[in-house]
Amino acid sequence: MIKAGVVGGTGYSGVELLRLLAQHPQVELAAVTSRPEAGRPVSAAYPSLRGCVEVAFSHPDKAPLAQCDVVFFATPNGVAMGEARRLLDAGARIVDISADFRLKDVAEWERWYKMKHAAPELLAEAVYGLCEVNREKIRDARLVANPGCYPTTVQLGLLPLVEAAAVDLDHLIADAKSGVSGAGRKLEQSLLYAEASENFAAYGVTGHRHWPEIRQGLAQLAGREIGLVFTPHLVPMVRGIHATLYGRIVKELDFQALYEKRYAKEPFVDVMPAGSHPDTRSTRAANVCRIAVHRPAEQGERADTLVVLSVIDNLMKGASGQAVQNMNLMFGLPEATGLEQVAVVP
């Protein structure tokens, strides 16, 4: 059995991770940390876990994390980088759901996250945990940087086009919408029910932290820098991300066949039939990205713009589900172990 520790078990990604680990046939949940909840049973904070998670929250300073085989960080940015070296030296492996190890350029990271990086020497070692790209590197990794929710949606949606150099890589557009759980479990005016309900708004238009992460991933695939306009929006739902992606065609291909071939063996990417319109509900509580490819007609002629629809559950494939997928790879388990949940409808 894999002994797993979870640092930060009280947020939305944390409780989703606990739900998945509690159902995983090869995992023993050894420690769940929370400073304010230390000593309180996890199931008292989250009754949904009654009968499934028997441990109590531990204070981070007293939790037996160094004795774990794998430690997940479901924490705000800045926590994992302060603890990673100690745990790695003790022999634990790490899956960081925060952003601490996603960007390779430390100056770039510090510019976007507004703090000094505490472990810049680990950035080179950290493997970016987009399984559909870095699967083999993840298998041997000690430290995996779990991708962000928007970056997962956008990169999976654009990946086949970038690999094939089939669209103008200097002028990619990602128009993305997320439910409020993507902002985390916190008190913030814009996330209050009366503010978010029956409302729809863009944010971070002039700069969002996920923009450099998306550009870094796509540039590595392309072997060159790429140009990307990324605009996130907040929509009045709890969970889910829908990204509408645009690229100007520079190489004629059978784009439906391109996507079907690229993702044919991927257990968690579903390329839908031509003409489909995937919705967020079709991914709710499931570790899957559903993609549809469209080439709209334009004034009676074939358009030169390709439209790709990419949809995930931000707490699953966009966070905790992908974290478990990474863990499975790291410990030589079948990739889908503990992740075969069917989407919840309605």
Q: Which residues are catalytic?
A: 149
Distance CA 42, CA 48 (A): 10
H or E stretch including 306? Answer: strand 305-312
Residues 6+ apart with CB under 8 A from 51: 43
Selection from 274, 152, 159 nearest residue 213 by Cα: 152
Selection from 34, 73, 28, 26 nearest residue 52 by Cα: 28
Neighbours of 86 (CB within 10 A): 11
Distance CA 280, CA 315 (A): 12
Distance CA 159, CA 155 (A): 5
Residues 6+ apart with CB under 8 A from 156: 130, 132, 269, 289, 291, 310, 312
H or E stretch including 294? Answer: strand 289-294
Distance CA 221, CA 226 (A): 10
Distance CA 160, CA 260 (A): 10
Distance CA 287, CA 317 (A): 5
The C-alpha angle 282, 232, 18, rounded to 5 degrees, equals 50
Given a contact cutoff of 8 angstroms between Cβ atoms, the answer to whether 44 and 17 are in contact is: no
> For the chain, first and last CA: distance in Å?
35
